[in-house]
Amino acid sequence: MPECGLITCSQKPVPLRGISVDVVVRGFVADVVSELCYQNEEKSPVEAVFVFPLDDEAAVYAFECLIGGTRIEARILEKKKAEQEYEDAIVEVHQAFLLERQMSDIFSCSLGNLPPGGEATLKLRYVQALAPEADGAVRFVLPAVLNPRYDPQGKSRGITKLIPRWSKGQLPYSLSLRATLESPYAINRVESKCTLTPLNYVAQDRTNAQISLAEGYKFDRDVELLIYYEEIHKPSALLETGKTGAASGSLMGDPALLLTLYPSLPPSKPALNATGEFIFLLDCSGSMSWNIGDDPNLPTRIQSAKETLILLLKSLPLGCHFNIYGFGSHYESFYPKSVEYTQQTMSESLQRVKELDADFGGTEILQPLQAIYRQPFQEGHPRQLLVFTDGEVGNTDQVISEVRRHSSSHRCFSFGIGEGASTALIKGIARAAGGSAEFITGKERMQAKVLQSLKRALQPAVTGISLHWDLPSGLEAKVVGSGPRVIFEGQRCLIYAQICGQHQSSGVTEGSVELQYTFQDQTIKETMKFPLQAQETGRLPVHLLAAQTLLQELEETDEEEKQHLALETSLSSGVVCSQTAYVGVNTELGKTLQCPLVHRDILLEGSFGFCSAPMPEARVLKRGVQEDQEFDSMEKESPFLSLVCLQNADGSWPLGTELASILGLSEAEISSKAPAQVVPDAWATVLAILWLHSNAAEQIDEWQLLEAKALRWLHATAGPQLAECVKAGNTLLVSSVSLQVLGL
C-alpha cells in the first residue's frame, strides 16, 4: 500500500477517556449501546473527531449526548442539513455533536465546543443481524481495528489516511464490553480470540447468560464473540408491533415479521467431474505481507493465501476450467483466458503460485474484476469467482456495483484476511453475486474456511425460494426488499415482511407462511406458524433491521427514484444511510467561550495499516532463484503441504522418493510391502490417504475434496485389491484407518 507512512505517536491530549459497550444478543440479532466518554483537560474548548468502523450490516438508529447532567437527543436529518446545523452551532459557540457515515462501514463522530474541564458522554445505538460460522457458532464482532483504505487514483476522500496513529498497545483510552445472551435455545458456550470473563448462566435452562471482556484489551484486534447454541436449526418467526405514532401503511407503522431460517440440507457430495469455471482473484498488495494476527509467529497473509491456493488447485474437479489473477496497483493473470484443468495446467499453476508475493503495490480490485467480466464464458461451465483480500480499498461502492452488474452470470465467494478487513467490501461483493463471505483473523486457518466455500461452490444451492402466506382476511404480507435468492448449506437466512391492513377475522389468532425452495431437483416445503398478536420489543429491532436491509438494496443503485426512497426510509426509520446524519445541539452553554476552538482527532491503534517504510512498487510475478529456494525450504517444513503438492490432477499420488521421505520410509521398503499385482501409484495413493487420516486429522476440512478425488481414482484403478492395500498400508505405517474411510 503506497499510502503507508510512519506511525504517528502524537503527544497532543486525547479527550476520549473510554468506550463502554453493552450488547444484548437474542438469537441471531444483536442490540448494541456504545458510550464514548470525553473529558477536556485543556485550557481551550475542544472539538473531538473520532473515526471508527462498524459492520456494514449494522443499523445505527439513535444518538444522544449527556452534558453536565443534561440529556440531548440528536435528530436525523438530510446529511447536508445536519452538517450545516453542526457548523452553525460551532460558530455560535454552542456545544454540538454529529454522527455521519463516511463509507459503508466507517462512521465519524464529532463533538464540538467541549469547554475546559468539561465532560460529555455520547451514546450510540445500533442493531445488527448475526451470521453463523461453518461450525454453527453465531458470530458477533465489535470492530475495533480500522486500517487505512487504499485510495485508487486519488478518487476517495482519504479519511482513514489522515487519522493520527498511536504505537501498538499505547492508546490513552480504554474499552469495556458486557454482553447479555438471550435465546430460545440453550447456550452451550462462548469462545473468543480476546480474553473473556467466565460465562455466567443466569437461567437454569442456560437460555440466559452474561459475559464480559477481560481487562487489558489493547485495541489490536476486533472483539469477537462466537456463541454456540443448541438446536439452532429450528426455524422461527417473530411478529413485532409498529412504532407508536408512525403512519399506518408505512414500514415503521405496520407490524413487521422476521423469519429466521437456518436449513439443515441433505448431504450432497460434489461431483468430481463437475463442470464449472473457477477464477481465483488474489490480493498481492503490500499490506498482504503483514501477519494475519498480532503474533509474529503466525504466517503472513500472503503465505496463508498461497497455501490455500495450492489446496484449491489440488481440489478442483477434472473437466472444469480455471484461472488465477494477482492484483495490487496492477494485475496479472496466469493465462489469457481460463484453461482446462489438467495435469499440465495444474503443475504450471502450482509453480506460479509459489512465485507470488506481496509486491504489487496498492489495492486496486476494480480493474481485474472488469478484466474478468470481459472474458468470454466457457460453454457449459458456470462461473465461480473466489476473491482473497485484506479489503483495504477506498472505492468499495464502485466495486460492489461492478459485481452486481454481472451477478446473473456468476457467483462470488469472498474472504477478508486479517484484522480490520472491510466488512462492506467482503460482504458486499458476496451479497451482490449470491455467494458467501468469510473473515480470517487471529490464529484461524484460512484454508479450512476457503475449502468449505469451495464445497459450496461445487454443490447445488437452495434456489427457487418462494413464500406462500396464509393470513386472515384483511391482512397482507409484503416482503421487504427483494428477498433471498440462494441459500447454501451452513448459511442462515433472515426474511423481513411488512404485515399490512386490518385484521377482520374474529377468532383467528395465528397466521402461517410456507417456504418453498428447490434443492437438487427436489421441491422442499417448510411451514411456520406465528401468533398474530404482535410483541412489544422495545427498540423495534425487527423494524430497524428491515429498514437497513431495504436501505442496502436501494443505495446499491444510482437510480434517482430509489435514492429518494432511501432518503425517505432513513428519515422515517432513524437508520442512518449515506444521505443522512444525526445532529444534536446544546443551546444552553451558560457562558461564552473566549478561547479559540482546538481540533483533536482521536488517535487509533497504529500497528495495523501503517508501516515504517513504503511498500515496494508493483513488479512482475517472476522471482529470483534464491527466493524460490527459500519458499521451497519453507514448504518442506510442512509435511502436510508437501504431500498435497505431490498429488496429481486425477487424484492419484506417484510412488517415488519424495513420498517416501514424507512417510519416513525408503522407496525400496514401500515397494517391497506392496500387495501383489497392485500398480505402484495405487499403492502410493492408499498410503497417502492413510497418512492424512493418521497425521492431519485436525485439518480434514482442508483435504476432504482432494481425498474424494483420490478415492474415485482408486476405486477405478485398484478395484477388488483396495481392501488388501488398506490392510497392508496400516501395517506398514502402524496406523489403524478403517476400511469404511475408503468407502469399503
**Of 603, 608, 6, residue with least CA distance to 294:** 608
The predicted structure's pLDDT at residue 718: 81
**Last residue of some domain: 458, 475, 495?**
458
658, 646 in Cβ contact below 8 A?
yes
Question: pLDDT at residue 259 above 90?
Answer: no
pLDDT tier for residue 608 given thresholds of 50, 70 and 90: very low
State which residues form the domain around 329. 277-458
Do 183 and 294 fall into the same domain? no
Tens digit of pLDDT for each residue in 527-556? Answer: 888 888 877 777 899 999 999 999 988 987
CA angle 529, 533, 538 (to 5 degrees): 110
| Class of residue 406 by CB neighbours under 10 A (exposed 0-12, middle 13-18, buried 19+) | middle
CATH of the domain at 163: 2.60.40
Confidence tier at 22 by pLDDT (50, 70, 90) = very high
Same domain, 416 and 491: no
How does DSSP assign 413-438, residue by residue? EEEEESTT--HHHHHHHHHHTT--EE
Long-range contacts of residues 628-634, Cβ cutoff 8 Å, at least 24 apart: 628/354, 628/355, 631/354, 632/354, 634/303
Say yes or no: 36 and 120 in one domain.
yes
Residue for grid cell 488447485: 313
Same domain, 657 and 683: yes
Statement: residue 629 has pLDDT above 70: no
What is the pLDDT at residue 166?
66
Work out how many domains the chain is built from and give that number. 4
Q: Is the pLDDT score of 626 beyond 80?
A: no
Domain assignment present for residue 239? The answer is: no
Average pLDDT over residues 265-274: 56
Q: pTM, whole model, 2 decimals? A: 0.80
- Of 166-170, 501-505, 697-701, the range with the lowest mean pLDDT is 166-170
Q: Is residue 382 part of a domain?
A: yes
400 and 509 together in one domain:
no
Domain boundary among 411, 443, 458: 458
Q: Give whichever of 123-127, 163-167, 422-426 has the largest mean pLDDT.
A: 123-127
Same domain? For 488 and 595 the reply is no
Residue 192 and residue 52 share a domain: yes
- Asked whether residue 480 is domain-assigned, the answer is yes
Give 142-193 as a DSSP string.
E----PPPB-GGG-S--TTTTS-EE-TT--SSEEEEEEEEE-SS-EEEEE-S
Do residues 228 and 291 both lie within one domain? no
- pLDDT attached to residue 615: 35
548: in domain: no
Buried (b) or exposed (e) across 638-668, using 16+ Cβ within 10 A?
ebbbbbbbbbbbbbbbebeebbbebbebebe
Residues 223 and 74 in one domain: yes
Residue 613 lies in a domain: no
228 & 285 share domain = no
Is residue 670 in a domain? yes
- Residue pair 254/216 in contact (Cβ under 8 Å)? The answer is no
Do 205 and 350 reside in the same domain of the chain? no
CATH of the domain at 440: 3.40.50.410
User: Residues 194-253: pLDDT tens digits?
Assistant: 999 999 999 999 999 999 999 988 887 889 999 999 877 777 788 999 998 899 999 999
**271 inside domain:** no
**229 and 317 housed in the same domain:** no
Whether 167 maps to a domain, the answer reads yes
